Amino acid sequence: MRLEIGVVDAFTEKPFSGNPAAVCLLEHDLSDEMRQNIAMEMNLSETAFVQRTEREGHFNLRWFTPTLEIDLCGHATLASSFWMLRKGWAKENVPIHFHTMSGELIVNASHDGLEMNFPLIPTVEDQHPYFQKELFGKKIVKAAQLHKNWIFELGNEDSVRSLEPDFMLIAKHSEEGFIITAAGEKYDIVSRFFGPNVGVPEDPVTGFAHCALMDYWNQKTGKTQLKAYQASRRGGELELEKHDDRVLIKGKAVVVYQAEMELKND
């Protein structure tokens, strides 16, 4: 069986920036083992698998890192939607309904970009048991806990950009990883995400992290709209808008390449 795979850079309009994800539109089911093998072979932070359901406009969506399946991935959802538009699986201005391990996610696409409707991830201010005053030489302003991850607010944008992480320590002192953030200069907020325990030492642009960052910064500032920048080496832009317990994440994407994989004995 031959499987076509698209690689899409998400949260950017320029190739070789933003966050790349592989997308597989499945006409036939694949075993979990084969999905994991494909994700390992692609060796990107996430590979997404999309399948049609019996309801028009509704799809099952799953995400795999090179090492495991994860509950929620924003950039691979954005990439999936963009690739589906390219391949005729979806249409502009017609909502795409994804059924996932994190519930139903809705994406709307237009000529201005894509808008994802995601659950807001609650954050609770707390003190990390190991990193209390400093994180790799940078002063911690405040810390907060969320499901399987920690947020550390640092003093300024430069502290976020210049921080040099020790991935072994992050892996030892987190279940998944760390989000670091600060108020931005050009943008409302800047951030980075380190996830060594999910096979992603530093993620270029992280949708799920911004579901938590929207809650964190809303609690701190009261703002319900944020322009965000993830300050990884590749970099990426996001627009966030809070609506009760949901967050709209807006971004753009570009196709980098497509390939064909030959599968045997699944």
pLDDT attached to residue 111: 74
pTM: 0.89
CATH 3.10.310.10 region(s) of the chain?
2-119+251-262, 124-243
pLDDT attached to residue 112: 79
Architecture of domain 2-119+251-262: Roll (3.10)
pLDDT attached to residue 198: 87
**Cα 213 to Cα 150: distance, rounded to the nearest angstrom:** 11
Question: How far lies 245's CA from each of 119, 121, 179, 212, 214, in Å?
Answer: 6, 8, 20, 11, 11
pLDDT attached to residue 265: 63
pLDDT attached to residue 212: 98
Q: Which CATH superfamily is domain 124-243 in?
A: Diaminopimelate Epimerase; Chain A, domain 1 (3.10.310.10)
* Active-site choice (46, 153, 176, 237): 46
Say which amino acid occupies 115.
E
By three-state DSSP, how is residue 262 classified?
A: strand
**Cα 221 to Cα 237: distance, rounded to the nearest angstrom:** 20
By three-state DSSP, how is residue 44 classified?
A: coil
H helix intervals, the chain: 32-42, 74-87, 157-162, 167-172, 207-221
User: Catalytic site residue 46?
Assistant: yes
Characterize 202-213 residue by residue with b for buried, 16 or more Cβ atoms within 10 angstroms of its Cβ, and e for exposed.
bbbbbbbbbbbb
pLDDT attached to residue 248: 96
Residues of the chain with pLDDT under 70: 265-266
By three-state DSSP, how is residue 232 classified?
A: coil
